[in-house]
A = this chain, B = another copy of it.
């Protein structure tokens, strides 16, 4: 089983290293046969090949069983002709990864790290299903000195396939989908709402409601417990999933999975490359480790091994290990080592 590893930029390599070490340990011990190959991507791709998504990297991803990504971007490449983020969008698009799954929850025992009151945070457990290859991110752009435009488009097929993912995920959770749009203003949102309702007819066991994106942004602060699965388009999903990510105490804790109709899936922590703390060995590898668990679970169907890794991670957190983002002094590498100790 071939895993392509894209450590990327900033803290990407550090957290990737901890996560992959966990996977290697599981693979060795249980003879899972995972093979890892590293490729340059993002800023590292620009440095190595003058392209954030080098041809060799894309080729390796296409021929892999799963892709693991650290993080990309940084001020060093802000003026690059093709920025690291362009490579990320290009990879999502090339692999057809239209569905981005971002689970956020307040881990029992860690409520005190939430910026929300415990009464509001406790029990919050939301999966954002974000459309990842359409909308404003991929529309035609124009740009001059005095004017710019971005086009947002959605087609029936694009909405249908992501809606199916959301309803299917909901069946494995709380059986409730909240579709988020701005249908009181946008044409794409009107289409979105109409097609989501059509798809919903095939899932009578799942409850569907609709919310405007502004109302959803409110409700995620005042009552996150009311949500189960949030289904939304690319840009709204970017904003809402990040907003949601902090209610558990730190964005550093969360992983994500992206998938298409077939082909390799991609797994990455949802935090960014955090250039300001890169190389200091203080980043939180929990999000990367959670992503590695998702790789086992969703990418390879290795449910038991995924559960082992998740349990080890949660145990280490409950034991009190805390990186700097959670006010502690665990290092990135010591945190990773603790998880691997638990695994043993």
On A, residues with C-beta under 8 Å from B are 73, 83, 85, 89, 114-117, 120, 136-137, 139, 141-143, 145-156, 182, 184-188, 190-191, 213-215, 217-218, 220-223, 235-236, 238-243, 245-247, 251, 272
Contacts and interface: CB of A to CB of B under 8 A. Distances in A.
Nearest to A239: B217
Contacts of A136: 136, 152, 185-186
A177 to B, nearest CB: 20
Contacts of A241: 214
B73 A184 contact: yes
Given A147-B153, A190-B148, A222-B246, A185 B137 contact: yes
B238 A214 contact: yes
A112 to B, nearest CB: 9
B191 A143 contact: yes
Contact of A117 (B115, B151, B154, B214): B115
Nearest to A89: B185
A148 B137 contact: no
Given A116-B116, A148-B190, 15 more contacts: A116-B117, A141-B186, A142-B187, A145-B156, A148-B191, A149-B151, A149-B152, A150-B151, A150-B188, A213-B238, A213-B239, A215-B272, A218-B246, A220-B243, A221-B221
